[in-house]
Chains A and B, each alone.
Chain A
Amino acid sequence: MIWGFLRDLLSGVNKYSTGIGRIWVAVVFIFRLLVYVAAAENIWKYEHDEFECNIKQPGCENVCFDHFFPVSHIRLWALQLIMVSTPSLLVVFHVAYRENREKHHNQKLYRSPGEIDGGLLCTYLISIILKTGFEVVFLVLFYKLYNGFKVPRLVTCDIRPCPSTVDCYISKPTEKMIFLYLLVATSCLCIVLNLSELSYLIFKYSIKCYLKRYIKKHQ
């Protein structure tokens, strides 16, 4: 999986972020992306091969695995990383649009194309809301699909063609659970960072607006 592209995207976004935004980028990059690539991927690598059912009936293992893991944890994790990083592209596109406009009109239209004000502020706020939304959606999806964030050692399965209720054993359940909790913890941290950034920006620009109006009144 070419995660280098995501790394470059995050580096590009970093230029136009606030301080809290940069901390968010660092958290996503180091505690989520790097942990995923360096450690988590290998844990789930042979999950299907190592999933064992106490039966010789052909097809029973496949059917049971598919029943308990409709979408593998690791794939959901990857999707979450991609969806959560993508809203930042909106900001990059908007800045590029501003720079293009300045070139086209051959004059300075903005104080600085990368400065967060006016339309870019709206785009930035929308990207933060989308990021937070995706985080929450994926956490809820994880919770609903797997009945919480636990990974049991043993699951019982009685779907055709399994002849009776069969015991199936998941490989490395404890290790998977530890990394799932790490994923949830970093997701929650990112949600908190996004909400603080949102409040900070709204507060900052409300104060700015209010001061402008106050000065105008007195002039």
Chain B
Amino acid sequence: MDWGALHTILGGVNKHSTSIGKIWLTVLFIFRIMILVVAAERVWGDEQDDFICNTLQPGCKNVCYDHFFPISHIRLWALQLIFVSTPALLVAMHVAYRRHEKKRQFRKGDQKCEYKDIEEIRKQRFRIEGSLWWTYTSSIFFRLVFEAVFMYAFYFMYDGFRMPRLMKCNAWPCPNTVDCFVSRPTEKTVFTIFMIAVSSICILLNVAELCYLLTKFFLRRSKKTGNSKHHPNHENKEETKQNEMNELISDSCQNTVIGFSS
């Protein structure tokens, strides 16, 4: 049980994402989760053991460490990754709900004819429309908010993104102002800057995806109003049929969802 399980869940959502969404997911897994697990955890692994204070006073080291690192970088990143990945589940839940509704409808209706069509349509691309558009856009919005909040929290807690070599501490029971030395400060600074840079890239990708979705929405709207003026009924029927087919694809293609099936 580890980040692989999150990968399984999000992999299912990937099918229903835009291209930018797929790039975001790849960046998340390769440049953030993988780097966290493979490299960053090792760098921060010995953080308290090798945090050394220039005093023999028992307890001084513990207190100073706690004062300078209220929550470790590595834990903050882990929480950030979990919170940032979660909004995608909203999309997965919405798709699962739609599939459930369609299944119920088709149980009552003529089942066999529709299934033959679905097999061919499965190869076509899925479009994000209607209420699913709103769910998808809200999930991107929440992602952005979480990224921004965590980046700000990081900046606020550690006074910037640099890891100093030396910290001066005079918290009780340290007898006076004591020098404390952080382990591997340069390596930690490098990884911190790297993670912040990738976070910023993810924020940019999310903003781009949001703009793309909004542009698509307004373009489609203007097309619809344009078409309804020239061909009021015919085009709408075609579009609704296409929409229904697309919903069927999304519902039948989705096989991971919240089921967490391996």
Shortest Cβ gap from B88 to chain A (Å): 11
Contact B173 A54 (CB under 8 A): yes
Q: Are B69 and A7 in contact (CB under 8 A)?
A: no
Bound complex: CA A203 to CA B261 (Å):
31
Q: Is B258 an interface residue (CB 8 A)?
A: yes
B121 at the interface (CB under 8 A from A): no
Q: How many A-B pairs fall under 8 Å by CB?
A: 111
Chain B interface helix/strand/loop/mixed: helix
Partner of A171, one of B5, B62, B71: B62
Binding site of A, secondary structure by majority: helix, strand, loop or mixed?
Answer: helix
- Chain B CB within 8 A of A178 CB: yes
Looking at the complex, which one of B57, B59, B79, B261 makes contact with A35 (CB distance below 8 Å)? B79
Contact A178 B59 (CB under 8 A): no
Is B1 an interface position by the 8 A CB rule? Answer: yes
Q: Is the CB of A3 within 8 A of B72?
A: no
CB A157 to nearest CB in B, in angstroms, measures 12
- How long is the Cα–Cα vector from A34 to B85 in the complex, in angstroms? 12
Query: Does B205 interact with chain A (Cβ within 8 Å)?
Result: no
- What is the interface residue range for chain A against chain B? 35 or more
Q: Does any Cβ of A come within 8 Å of B93's Cβ?
A: yes
Query: Does any Cβ of A come within 8 Å of B110's Cβ?
Result: no
CB-based contact B66/A7 at 8 Å: no
Pick the residue among A7, A14, A23, A174 that contacts B5 (CB under 8 A). Answer: A7
Name the residue of chain B whose CB is nearest to the CB of A15: B259
Partner of B1, one of A6, A53, A54, A168: A6
Q: Using an 8 Å CB-CB cutoff, how does the interface string of B78-89 with A read, 1 for contact, 0 for none? A: 110010011001
Residues of B within 8 A of A102 (CB): none
- Which chain A residues border B3 with CB–CB below 8 Å? 38
- Min Cβ gap A91→B in Å is 15
Residue B190 CB within 8 A of the other chain: no
Q: Which of A24-32, A92-100, A119-127, A134-142 lines the interface with chain B?
A: A24-32
Q: Is A169 an interface residue (CB 8 A)?
A: yes
**A101, CB-defined interface residue at 8 Å:** no
Chain A CB within 8 A of B58 CB: yes
Tell whether A7 pairs with B260 under 8 Å between CB atoms, given A46-B48, A171-B66. Answer: yes
CA distance A7 to B65 in the complex (A): 35
Extra contacts besides A26-B93, A31-B82, A169-B62 (17): CB < 8 Å: A2-B1, A14-B258, A15-B259, A23-B93, A25-B258, A26-B258, A33-B1, A34-B6, A39-B75, A52-B59, A53-B58, A153-B63, A170-B62, A171-B48, A171-B65, A172-B48, A175-B72
List the 3 shortest-distance A-B pairs measured between CB atoms, nearest first. Answer: A3-B1, A169-B59, A11-B260
Binding site for A on B (CB under 8 A): 1-3, 5-6, 48-49, 57-59, 61-63, 65-66, 69-72, 74-75, 78-79, 82, 85-86, 89, 93, 96-97, 173, 258-262
Interface positions of A (Cβ within 8 A of B): 2-4, 6-8, 10-11, 14-15, 19, 22-23, 25-26, 29-31, 33-35, 37-39, 42-43, 46, 50, 52-55, 153-154, 167-175, 178-179
